[in-house]
Structure 1
Amino acid sequence: MPWKLTPLLLFLGWMTSVCNARTRTDLLNVCMDAKHHKAEPGPEDKLHNQCTPWKKNACCSARVSQELHKDTSSLYNFTWDHCGKMEPACQRHFIQDNCLYECSPNLGPWIQEVNQKWRKERFLNVPLCKEDCQSWWEDCRTSHTCKSNWHRGWDWTSGSNKCPNGTTCRTFEAYFPTPAALCEGLWSHSYKLSNYSRGSGRCIQMWFDPALGNPNEEVARFYASALTAEAWPQGIRPLSLCLALMLSLWLHD
């Protein structure tokens, strides 16, 4: 009888969703679903300047990497110089931050869905190595800005970001009194200040020497494995559960 098939079809649908659940490898070597990201990572021999560490395997194109180095990029029409010229040492960190965002295929464990016009995914609470955050803050202390969160609240009437009414240009240190305030608050908690150091295998480096390999690959594997372990009851893994479900279905056929 057709009505008897309904529970079976529901069961099969549930089993399929379980067997297709996100696994550890789904979190590795992936690109975000965002405005300028490639669909899949791959080699890009002509990545520009500070984006070159990712040339062997990148989520960004050569054109995107070039735009990231401009004072006002055509990618988002965002200018660093909204409160006067940003110091070169400070701007260097922002370019590296953008290269990591656009180019890295190693941020899968922290990718979250969002409902925004220009992207469907973002990363959240990426553990940024403490030295990277500290040096970013140190090199930007004397540059100027007018906001403590750069994700929202700008005046875009001119076509690029301007300080909104009621704000005042002050030093970065006035808006970001600590390294954590800068790294965590700047992009709505995209980063989280880590207690781990560069080379520990437990924190993401914003930049690295490509001649020594990509240290963020190991970090992504560690956190992806931890996420997978947390997602399933102790002693149960997706493959064993799927096999048990299929056996049960066969025995009751």
Structure 2
Amino acid sequence: MAWKLMPLLLLLVWVATLCSARDRTDLLNVCMDAKHHKTKPGPEDELHGQCSPWRKSACCTVDTSQELHKDTSRLYNFNWEHCGTMEPACKRHFIQDNCLYECSPNLGPWIQQVDQSWRKERFLNVPLCKDDCQSWWQDCRTSYTCKSNWHEGWDWSSGVNKCPTGATCRTFESYFPTPAALCEELWSHSYKVSNYSRGSGRCIQMWFDSGQRNPNEEVAKFYAAAMSAGVTLHGMGGFLLSLALMLQLWLLD
């Protein structure tokens, strides 16, 4: 009789290992494994300009924050103004976008592994607050670009990104007819436009007042808890199904 219980004991050990394999705190207060990110977040009292809200806990350095405010940063040799002068209101959103990417320690629930020369991780489908996305699109609709996906397809022959052969400079609105098209397609679905608005605690704000508490901390905790609960329920569901099947086989033997 005892030998018949051995498979059940092994299954119990497997489930216990699965449920404790990853604690949800692994998703909180983390930095991506990427070219200019710190290995772990920490205070950076002198963060520059629009990166300053992250000064209490940042994945970027002061030098990185300064470079993010330049039209062509030496960080990536990427020129926002590849189709002429970008409207200042539009440029402000791109600086905020870059500051969030480089500085935020609150993107852990959406970090994915990638195999790229300049980074080993990226974030994917971050739930961006819908009003942040709408403002970004509204302020950029009359500026010009020549591509809808800025992650790839550029002419890098000069060392700086230029429009590829055959690409035409047109307004942002031509390439991105809706706010969601801009926010989701620009960086290969780094963002997914949320149905929630700023202050809801359910969407990531691209920027916040440096004198206030970081609202994205609450958002990261919410999604980390939801993801961990989903993994646990999935593991327990598999456990119960396997247990039922093994018991049935054992009783029939």
Does TM, normalized by the shorter one, top 0.5? Answer: yes
Confirm or deny that 1:22 pairs with 2:22. yes
Q: In 1, distance between residues paired with 2:235 and 2:35?
A: 40
Q: Is the 8 A contact 2:194 2:203 kept in 1?
A: yes
Q: Which residue of 2 aligns with 1:209?
A: 209
Aligned-residue RMSD, C-alpha = 2.1
The offset of 1:21, in angstroms, is 2.0
Distance across 2 between alignment mates of 1:205 and 1:191: 11
Corresponding position: 1:148 with 2:148: yes
1:82 aligns with 2:82: yes
Q: Which residue of 2 aligns with 1:5?
A: none
2:108 aligns to what? 108
- Note the residue ranges of structure 1 that are not aligned, 5 or more in a row: 1-9, 237-253
**Structure 2 residue 166 is matched with structure 1 residue 169:** no
Structure 2 CA distance for aligned equivalents of residues 18 and 196 of structure 1: 33
2:197 corresponds in structure 1 to 197
Aligned partner of 1:164: which letter?
Answer: P
Counterpart code for 1:49: G
| CA-CA distance at 1:18 after TM superposition | 3.7
- Give, in angstroms, the shift of residue 17 of structure 1: 6.3
Find out whether 1:38 has 2:31 as its counterpart: no
Q: Which amino acid in structure 1 is aligned with residue 59 of structure 2?
A: C
Q: What is residue 48 of structure 1 aligned with on the other side?
A: 48
Q: Confirm or deny: 8 A CA contact 2:18 2:235 kept in the other structure.
A: no
Q: Which amino acid aligns with 2:145?
A: T
Tell me the SS of whatever aligns to 2:56.
coil
Query: What does residue 224 of structure 2 align with?
Result: 224
Runs of 4+ in 1 over 6 A off after TM superposition: 13-17
Deviations 1:103-125 (A, max 9, x none): 00000000000000000000000
Match of 2:127, SS state, is strand
| Structure 2 residues without counterparts, runs of 5 or longer | 1-9, 237-253
- Counterpart amino acid of residue 56 in structure 1: K
How many residue pairs match? The answer is 228
Deviation at 1:22, TM superposition (A): 2.1
- Code of the residue aligned with 1:88 in structure 2: it is P
Per the alignment, residue 125 of structure 1 pairs with: 125
**Helix, strand or coil: the match of 1:163?**
coil
Q: After superposition, what is the alpha-carbon deviation per residue over 1:6-43, rounded to whole angstroms, capped at 9, x for unaligned?
A: xxxx99x9789647622210000000000000000000
> C-alpha distance in 1, partners of 2:20/2:44?
31
TM-aligned CA distance change 1:181 to 1:99, over 3 Å: same
Measure, in 2, the Cα distance between the counterparts of 1:70 and 1:20.
45
Residues 19 and 232, structure 2, Cα contact 8 Å, conserved in 1: no
1:212 Cα deviation from its structure 2 partner = 1.8
SS at match of 1:212: coil
Seen in structure 2, the aligned counterparts of structure 1 residues 234 and 78 have a Cα distance that, compared at 3 Å, is: closer
8 A Cα contact 2:15 2:235, kept in partner: no
Distance 1:152 1:67 in 2: 21
State, as a whole percentage, how many aligned pairs show the same letter: 77
Give me the whole-angstrom Cα distance separating, in 2, the residues matched to 1:209 and 1:131.
16
Residue identity in the other structure for 1:194: S
Q: Deviations over 1:207-249 (max 9, x none)?
A: 001222000000000000000000013796xxxxxxxxxxxxx
> For 1:121-154, what per-residue CA distance to the aligned partner results, in whole angstroms no more than 9, with x for missing partners?
0000000001100000000000000000000000
Is residue 109–residue 220 contact of structure 2 (8 Å, CA) maintained in 1?
A: yes
Map of 2:244 onto structure 1 = none
- Quick check: 2:128–2:203 contact (8 Å CA) kept in 1? yes
